[in-house]
Chains A and B, each alone.
Chain A
Amino acid sequence: MKALLWRDLQLAIRAGGGFGLSLAFFLIVCTLVPFGVGADGGQLSRIAAGILWVGALLSCLLSLDRIFALDHEDGSLDLLATAPLPLEGMVAIKALAHWLTTGLPLVICSPVLGILLHLPGAAYPWLVLSLTVGTPALSMLGAFGAALTVGLRRGGLLLSLLVLPLYVPTLIFGAETVRRGLMGTEVTTPLVFLAGITFATLALVPFAAAAALRVNLR
């Protein structure tokens, strides 16, 4: 299991691994929005939390098809399926590797991009906390979508369409947490729901994705 995680991290960081792709996309979205919306700081700071969450979600979506498609193309997936490692464990590890190479960097650089979007100071802890709690769910749900579409050529479009509706609850509760934190009202409810979604995906997705992989490997 450690070997698989280490290999996926290595592959992501090396040339052509797509490590920077999501991060660069996040950066682009967050720098372009102020230009599009206009320089009115008040207006920007009102929508900043939503922009940051939508940006994180879309950049996460961008790298999803890499989770299983590359391994399927070069035959590694067949070999991993015959390895002693259970398929469920493999799914969990690959989703973890995806989170470490896309979700975690997004969490780390989100405060910097928050400054760019005039995000008020009170919201920063809640932004980082909600992204930390919410992004693992994005990787897990993405792994499920990637497992469903693994055998398809040009499955990226279908993957986005399948996964986007699943992302909506995470987006709602994530952005709501930041908004409430910003207004100084009670944040427990959306945060608990956000954590609940993440834990539910952590518990269920490995089994669902492994079942989808078994069907697609036939």
Chain B
Amino acid sequence: MTLISVRDLAVARGGLRVIESLDFSLSGGQALVLRGPNGSGKTTLLRTLAGLQPAVAGQIDCPPDSIAYAGHADGLKPALTVSENLSFWASVFGGPAIGPALVAMNLTELTARPAHTLSAGQKRRLGLARLMVTGRPLWLLDEPTVSLDSNSVALFAAMLRAHLAAGGAALVATHIDLGLPEAGLLDLTPYRANLTRRDDRPAGFNEAFA
């Protein structure tokens, strides 16, 4: 089953096109690793696919409520404990129980700790555990392995593999090797927008209304 298909997509950051004529599609069980140098539009692409900003051109087809997005920030409340943070997202998304997610990211011993006492890597693990409790099939991950140690990267890879085996899909922007040989590769460099062409910007273009 196709979870997302993108045709002739162009996305913009701050009113400037960064990616143009992008085509790809993802089905259940597939993972795609996004590559590209800094500023090539990986985050912008993921935010556009997640519906947080509109596409400039092109078409994104995916079933409603199928996407779980994980950005640079983990969305944790420092005053709440690990299990309270996770339960909150589980009930907002109407997802499954938090137990398996805690086990998968090795957080069971930390459940009663307030999030502000966690280390950066532990916070990231909690942020990634949130993906499991959303119950959504398509994960859009933006640099998920930042501040994770090698053991935690392996935990994350195992979680991702289990998600793919259960029929899910993932689009991962990352610079490191996740240890997922089955994942496809999508290099954004060829889709980079041609910034020298100015005819996309009408006269009197105002970035605030882009």
A interface residues (Cβ-Cβ under 8 A, vs B): 2-4, 7, 10-11, 14-17, 73-76, 78-85, 217-218
Is the pair B92, A74 in contact by a Cβ cutoff of 8 Å?
no
Is the pair A3, B52 in contact by a Cβ cutoff of 8 Å?
no
Is the pair A217, B72 in contact by a Cβ cutoff of 8 Å?
no
A79 with B76: in contact, given A84-B65, A217-B53, A218-B52 (CB under 8 Å)? no
Q: For residues 138 through 170 of chain B, which have their beta carbon under 8 Å from a beta carbon of chain A?
A: none
- Interface residues of chain B: helix, strand, loop or mixed (majority): loop
Is the pair B79, A218 in contact by a Cβ cutoff of 8 Å?
no
Selected A-B contacts with CB under 8 Å, 8 pairs: A2-B91, A3-B88, A7-B84, A15-B79, A78-B47, A78-B50, A81-B51, A84-B93
Other-chain contact of A82, B69, B76, B79, B88 (Cβ < 8 Å): B69
| Total CB contacts across the A-B interface at under 8 A | 69
A68 to chain B, nearest CB (A): 13
Report the bound CA distance from A169 to B93 in whole Å.
39
Is the pair A79, B75 in contact by a Cβ cutoff of 8 Å?
yes
Other-chain contact of B73, A2, A75, A218 (Cβ < 8 Å): A75
A11 with B79: in contact, given A75-B73, A75-B74 (CB under 8 Å)? yes
Nearest residue, chain A, Cβ from B87: A3
A74 with B89: in contact, given A81-B52, A82-B69, A84-B65 (CB under 8 Å)? no
B147 to chain A, nearest CB (A): 15
Residues of B within 8 A of A7 (CB): 77, 80, 84, 88
Is the pair B76, A74 in contact by a Cβ cutoff of 8 Å?
yes
Is the pair B79, A16 in contact by a Cβ cutoff of 8 Å?
yes
Q: Does B121 contact A (CB under 8 A)?
A: no
Report the bound CA distance from A79 to B140 in whole Å.
12
Is the pair B72, A76 in contact by a Cβ cutoff of 8 Å?
no
Is the pair B79, A75 in contact by a Cβ cutoff of 8 Å?
no
Is the pair B52, A82 in contact by a Cβ cutoff of 8 Å?
yes
Is the pair A80, B52 in contact by a Cβ cutoff of 8 Å?
no
